[in-house]
Amino acid sequence: MSEYLKKFKGLVSEENLKKLEKIKNENVLKFIYDSIKLCKPSDVFICDDSPDDILHIKNMAIVSGEESAALLIPGHTFHFDGINDQGRDRKVTKFLVPKGEKLPEALNQIEREEGLKEILSLLKGSMKGKTMIVRFLTLGVPDSVFAIPCMECTDSWYVAHSVSLLYNKGFKTFTNLKEDEEIFYTLHSAGKLDERKISIDYDKKRVYIDYTKNTVYSVNTQYAGNSIGFKKLALRLAIRKAAREGWLAEHFMIVGVKGPNGRKTYLAGAFPSGCGKTSTAMLEGETILADDLAYVREINGECRACNVECGIFGIIRDVNPEDDPLIYKTLTSPGEIIFTNVLVKDGRVWWTGMGKELPEEGINYSGKWYKGKKDENGKEILPSHKNARYTLLLSSLENCDENLYNKNGVLLSGIMYGGRDYKGYVPVQEGFDYVHGIIVYGVGLETETTFAIVEEEGKYEINVMSIQDFLSISIGDYIRNYIEFGKKLKKKPLIFGVNYFLRDLKTEEFLNERRDKHVWLKWMELRCHNDVKVRKTPTGLIPLYEDLKILFKDVRGKDYKKEDYIKQFTIRVNENIKKLSRVKRFVEEKIPDAPEEVHKIIDDQRERLLKAKERFGDYIEPEKFEIIS
Beta bridge partners of 392: 312, 337
Is there a contact between 420 and 272 (Cβ–Cβ < 8 Å)? yes
Would strands 264-270 and 148-154 be described as parallel, antiparallel, or unpaired? Answer: unpaired
Whether residue 275 lies in the annotated active site: yes
First to last CA, the chain: 67
Strand 76-79's sheet: what is its strand order? 76-79, 337-340, 389-393, 311-315
56-to-12, 74, 309, 421 alpha-carbon distances in Å: 17, 17, 22, 48
CB atoms within 10 A of CB 557: 7
Kindly write down the DSSP assignment for every residue of 167-186, as one continuous string.
Answer: SEE-HHHHHT--TT---EEE
Residues with Cβ within 8 Å of 53's Cβ and at least 6 positions away in sequence, in order, are 47
295-to-107, 327, 443 alpha-carbon distances in Å: 22, 24, 19
Is there a contact between 472 and 235 (Cβ–Cβ < 8 Å)? no
Three-state secondary-structure class, residue 58: helix
Residues with Cβ within 8 Å of 622's Cβ and at least 6 positions away in sequence, in order, are 535, 537, 542, 545, 565, 566, 569, 570, 571
| Polymer length in residues for the chain | 629
Nearest to 364 by CA among 84, 89, 79, 85: 79
Report the alpha-carbon distance of residue 585 to residue 591 in Å, rounded. Answer: 10
Backbone angles phi, psi at 291, to 5 degrees: -115, -10
Q: List, in sequence order, every beta strand (DSSP E) within 311-370.
A: 311-315, 337-340, 343-345, 348-350, 361-364, 367-370
Q: List, in sequence order, every beta strand (DSSP E) within 222-327.
A: 248-250, 253-258, 264-270, 287-290, 294-299, 302-307, 311-315
Q: Which of 275, 303, 310, 528 is catalytic?
A: 275
Report the 3 state secondary structure along 554-608.
Answer: HHHCCCCCHHHHHHHHCEEHHHHHHHHHHHHHHHHHHCCCCCHHHHHHHHHHHHH
Dihedral angle sign, alpha carbons of residues 545, 528, 414, 318: positive
Would strands 215-219 and 184-189 be described as parallel, antiparallel, or unpaired? Answer: parallel
Q: Which helix (H) or strand (E) holds 523?
A: helix 517-528
Would you please indicate which residues are annotated as catalytic (active-site) residues? 275
